[in-house]
Amino acid sequence: TTARRPLMAGNWKMNLNHLEAIAHTQKLAFALNDKDFDRVDVALLPPFTDLRSVQTLVDGDKLRIVYGGQDLSRHDGGAYTGDVSGAMLAKLGCTFVLVGHSERRQYHHEDDDLVNAKVLAAYRHSLTPILCVGEGLPVRQAGGQVAHSVSQLDGALRTVTAEQARSVVVAYEPVWAIGTGEVATPADAQEVCSALRARLAELYDGEVAAAVRILYGGSVKSDNIAGIMDQPDVDGALVGGASLDPGEFVKLCRFGE
Ligand code: PEP
């Protein structure tokens, strides 16, 4: 009942060196066909050091796979040793960039202000941010998952215009479900994803809310994807562990078939 195109995004995290990335992308390219790409957008989010290799395969073989970075600097360039700018990602043909992944929030102390600055940096370089929000276990146990996730959305989209927000991708990733094998129920995913969409309608308007793709992430596998994708406000998945197995990731791209 919606015109939103499903998006399956594989977050490789700090896995696969550039040679492994080439082999992995070639396996995906061999297995995925036009019918798959007609139905779903397939995105890879490799480590920075793999992006050039992925770009070469995508361009050389005219693959319909898109790709992006797992993070970016809030700055566009300059004396920021170790950081990578949105301009650099754009130059490598990136479509997407993850912003505010829970592992960045946890291990690199990224707060809502920094996440907001990174969202703005992504837009400056025509990258589509995949904005990650989601509560930890104590918040879930206290029933605060909606308030927490909505507040992270508010913080990240501060000063983002309706025109920009229309293209954002939001990923609801309950931290307790990431890499734990503990998947949220379809109803859990729908509860927060629908609340996030309702909040987008308040922050902007119904048209923006209806256009934005909202993904679920957290221990998604081929045997639990169908129920999650059945939910009306879930438009795809952000997949960590299972995206490292090409066969499994292809199955995820064929959810419900
Ligand atoms: C993630 O890190 O975005 C993620 C969803 O990981 P996993 O699928 O391994 O839980």
The answer to whether residue 185 sits within a structural domain is yes
Q: What's the per-residue H, E or C state across 11-25? A: ECCCCCCHHHHHHHH
Complex ipTM > 0.90: yes
- Structural domain containing residue 46: 7-253
Summarize the confidence of residues 235-257 as an average pLDDT: 97
Q: Is the CB of 241 under 6 A from ligand 1?
A: yes
> Under a CB-based contact definition with an 8 Å cutoff, are residues 121 and 74 in contact?
yes
The answer to whether residue 80 sits within a structural domain is yes
Closest CA to 94 of 85, 107, 102: 85
The answer to whether residue 154 sits within a structural domain is yes
> Strand 128-133 relative to strand 96-99: parallel, antiparallel, unpaired?
parallel
Q: How many CA atoms lie within 13 A of 134 on its CB side?
A: 32
> Under a CB-based contact definition with an 8 Å cutoff, are residues 190 and 234 in contact?
yes
The answer to whether residue 2 sits within a structural domain is no
Instruction: Give the whole-angstrom CA distance, residue 146 versus residue 125.
Output: 31
Verify whether residue 75 is a known catalytic residue: no
Mutate which of 178, 223, 228 for ligand 1? The one with the most ligand atoms within 8 Å of its CB, which is 178
* CATH number of the domain within which 245 lies: 3.20.20.70
Query: What's the total number of domains in the chain?
Result: 1
Q: Is the CB of 217 under 6 A from ligand 1?
A: yes
Nearest 5°: the CA angle 151, 156, 159 is: 115
Q: What is the pLDDT of residues 128-186, one digit of tens each?
A: 999 999 999 999 999 999 999 999 999 999 999 999 999 999 999 999 999 898 889 99
- Among residues 103, 110, 135, 173, the one annotated as catalytic is 173
> Under a CB-based contact definition with an 8 Å cutoff, are residues 171 and 119 in contact?
no
The answer to whether residue 174 sits within a structural domain is yes
The answer to whether residue 1 sits within a structural domain is no
- Which residue has 């890879």 as its token pair? 44
Q: What is the pLDDT of residues 85-117, one digit of tens each?
A: 999 999 999 999 999 999 999 999 999 999 999
The pLDDT of residue 94: 98
> Under a CB-based contact definition with an 8 Å cutoff, are residues 35 and 248 in contact?
no
Q: In the beta sheet, which residues pair with residue 130?
A: 98, 169
* Amino acid letter, 246: P
> Under a CB-based contact definition with an 8 Å cutoff, are residues 96 and 127 in contact?
yes
Q: Is the CB of 219 under 6 A from ligand 1?
A: yes
